[in-house]
Structure 1
Amino acid sequence: MSETPVIILTGAGRGIGFAILKYLLALTNPPNILATSRNITALEPLAAAHENLEVVSVDFAAPSSELKSIIPTAIVNAAVSKWGRIDALLLNHGVLDPLAKVDVAELEDWEANYRVNFFSNVQLIKNALPDLRKTNGRVVLVSSGASSLYFTGWGAYGSSKAALNHLNSTLALEEPTVTTVAIAPGIVDTDMQAALRGVHGKVMSSGENSFFHSVKESGGLVKPEDVGAVLANLALQVEKSLSGKYLNWDDEVLSSYRAKL
Structure 2
Amino acid sequence: MSVTQVVVLTGAGRGIGLAILQHLLSLPTPPNILAVTRTITPALKSLSVTHSNLETVSVDFSSSPSDLKSEIQSSIIDVAVSRWGRIDSLVLNHGMLDPVAKVRDADVNEWEVTFRTNFLSNVEIVKAASGELRRVGGRVVMVSSGAAVGVYTGWGAYGASKAALNHLNQTLALEEPDITTVAIRPGVVDTDMQTALREVHGKVMKPEEHAKFLNLKKSGSIVKPVCLLFPS
Q: TM-score range by the shorter chain?
A: over 0.9
Q: What is the distance in 2 between the residues matched to 1:169 and 1:65?
A: 25
Aligned to 1:100: 101
| Mapping for residues 207-226 of structure 1, pairs under 5 Å | 207-225=208-226
Query: What corresponds to 2:123 in structure 1?
Result: 122
- Range 35-44 or range 156-165, more displaced: 35-44
Between the aligned partners of 1:201 and 1:18, the Cα distance in structure 2 is 27
Counterparts of 1:90-169 in structure 2, within 5 Å, are 90-169=91-170
Q: Give, in whole Å, the separation in 1 of the partners of 2:101 and 2:65.
A: 23
Measure, in 2, the Cα distance between the counterparts of 1:64 and 1:195.
Answer: 28
Q: Tell me the SS of whatever aligns to 1:224.
A: coil
Taking only the aligned residue pairs, the percentage that are identical comes to 61
TM-score (norm 2): 0.98
- Counterpart residue number, 1:253: none
1:41 Cα deviation after fit: 2.6
Q: What is the match of residue 50 of structure 1? A: 51
Deviations 1:52-77 (A, max 9, x none): 00000111011111001000110011
Q: Cα offset for 1:218?
A: 1.2
Contact 1:9 1:92 in 2 (8 A): yes
> Could you tell me how far 1:160 is from its partner in structure 2?
0.4
Local SS of the residue matching 2:140 = strand
Partner SS, residue 104 of structure 2: coil
CA distance, structure 1, for counterparts of residue 36 and residue 2 of structure 2: 21
Residue equivalent to 1:204 = 205
| Amino acid of the structure 2 residue aligned with 1:109 | E
Name the SS of the counterpart of 2:7 in structure 1.
Answer: strand
Q: Secondary structure at the match of 2:178?
A: coil
Whole-angstrom CA distance in 2 between matches of 1:58 and 1:200: 27
> Which aligned pairs between 1:72-87 and structure 2 lie closer than 5 A?
72-87=73-88
Alpha-carbon RMSD across the aligned residues, in angstroms, is 1.1
Counterparts of 2:2 and 2:8, CA distance in 1: 15
Q: What do the CA deviations read for 1:241-261 (whole angstroms, capped 9, x no partner)?
A: xxxxxxxxxxxxxxxxx3x1x
Paired residue for 1:64?
A: 65
- Secondary structure, in 3 states, of the residue corresponding to 2:105? coil
Cα deviation, residue 167, structure 1: 0.4
CA distance in 2, matches of 1:50, 1:211: 40
Q: Deviations over 1:64-100 (max 9, x none)?
A: 1100100011001110000000000000000000000
Alignment of 1:30-45 (within 5 A): 30-42=30-42, 43-45=44-46
* Aligned partner of residue 188 in structure 1, secondary structure: coil
Counterparts of 1:48 and 1:66, CA distance in 2: 29
Matches within 5 A, 1:243-258: 258=231
Counterpart-to-counterpart distance in 1, 2:203 and 2:27:
42
Deviations 1:128-150 (A, max 9, x none): 00000111000000000000110
In 2, the alpha carbon distance for the partners of 1:157 and 1:52 equals 33
- Contact persistence 1:2–1:84 (CA under 8 A): no
3-state SS, counterpart of residue 213 of structure 2: helix
Alpha-carbon offset, residue 44 of structure 1:
1.2
Residue by residue over 1:17-58, the C-alpha shift from the partner in whole angstroms, topping out at 9 and shown as x without a partner, is: 000000011111000000011111321111111110000011
Q: Deviations over 1:150-194 (max 9, x none)?
A: 000000000100000000000000000000000011000111101
Structure 1 CA distance, aligned partners of 2:86 and 2:193? 33
The Cα shift of 1:2 comes to: 8.2
> Where has structure 1 moved over 4 Å in runs of 4 or more?
none
